[in-house]
Amino acid sequence: MYREHFGLGLKPFGLTPDGAFLFAHAGYHEALNVLLVALDSGEGFMKITGEVGTGKTVLCRRLLDLLGETHITAYVPNPLLEPMELYGAVADELGAEFAGAADSHDALKRIAHRLIDLGTGDRSVVLCIDEAQAMSDRTLEALRLLSNLETEKRKLLHIVLFGQPELDRRLSGYALRQLRQRIVFSYCLPALDRQDVANYVRHRLQAAGYAGGDLFTSRALIRLWRGSRGIPRLVNILAHKAMLAAFGQGDGMVRARHVRSAIADTDDARRGWLYRLGFER
């Protein structure tokens, strides 16, 4: 649609996580460093939280890529599972024999045997769980039992939880206090600040093949930052709609009015905008 109009080779503001468009801002680097330091120190449980659209899945995939040669990794992208289903998913990722497991005790025993086999070399095992806020209390407790698997000298399994802020609220409850106390390293992914949003937009445009000057005016970038609240996914949605608006009007630049119309057409951005203006409580 607008790609030819603006001289782009690729769609710059897609919502599917794509490493080619990765923008490693300061908060992203800090979160990644926290995880790498924690894993290097042999900690069993880590947690990364952040608002919807702040890049937790991108961070998770980047961590898995970095660990690929030095660790054995397992990934559970959909944790809306019952305890035995979670054990089955982990067993499948690790190559453990799980068919016929009689109960959770049997399941943990089979996974432990596989972890011991995998741990005979120098590579430790890391389990990453995305969207962890969707897990039930029973499944979170089953996860805690997985973290008990250890030898006299080291943990057999390192677990990294990625979740929305609801995960923190869940873990603050009395019922999950044992799991909460196991989490040694935590980090909350921040939203992008005003300059980050401008750099993010320019970075994605360049990655999409744009070779011209600034495509978004400075006022458009400010409005984009305010409308998105610095959340990368909302930046993508609003920037895409603003470019469509500019293209539809035959404009060669994306201006503040185009971003304003994108905000008006996006529920989450519009509600955040009205709230800041005091029209919504």
**Burial, 250: exposed, middle or buried (Cβ in 10 Å; 0-12, 13-18, 19+)?**
exposed
Predicted confidence at residue 149, as pLDDT, reads: 80
Domain boundaries along the sequence of the chain = 26-188, 192-277
Give CA–CA dist 264/16, Å, rounded: 23
- Fold of the domain spanning 26-188: Rossmann fold (3.40.50)
pLDDT at 271 > cutoff 80:
no
Predicted confidence at residue 264, as pLDDT, reads: 93
Give whole-number Cα distances, 221 to 56, 235, 264, 269, in Å. 23, 10, 16, 14
Predicted confidence at residue 280, as pLDDT, reads: 40
Predicted confidence at residue 111, as pLDDT, reads: 92
Predicted confidence at residue 208, as pLDDT, reads: 94
User: Contact, 89 vs 76, CB < 8 A?
Assistant: yes
Q: pLDDT digit string (tens) for 131-140? A: 999 999 999 9
Question: Token pair of 279, please?
Answer: 């029209």
Residue range 192-277, CATH number: 1.10.8
Sequence-distant (6+) residues with CB within 8 A of 2 are 8, 243, 244, 246, 247
Predicted confidence at residue 275, as pLDDT, reads: 45
pLDDT at 130 > cutoff 60:
yes
Average pLDDT (238-262) is 96
192-277 shares the fold of 26-188: no
Q: Is the full-model pTM beyond 0.85?
A: yes
pLDDT at 154 > cutoff 80:
no
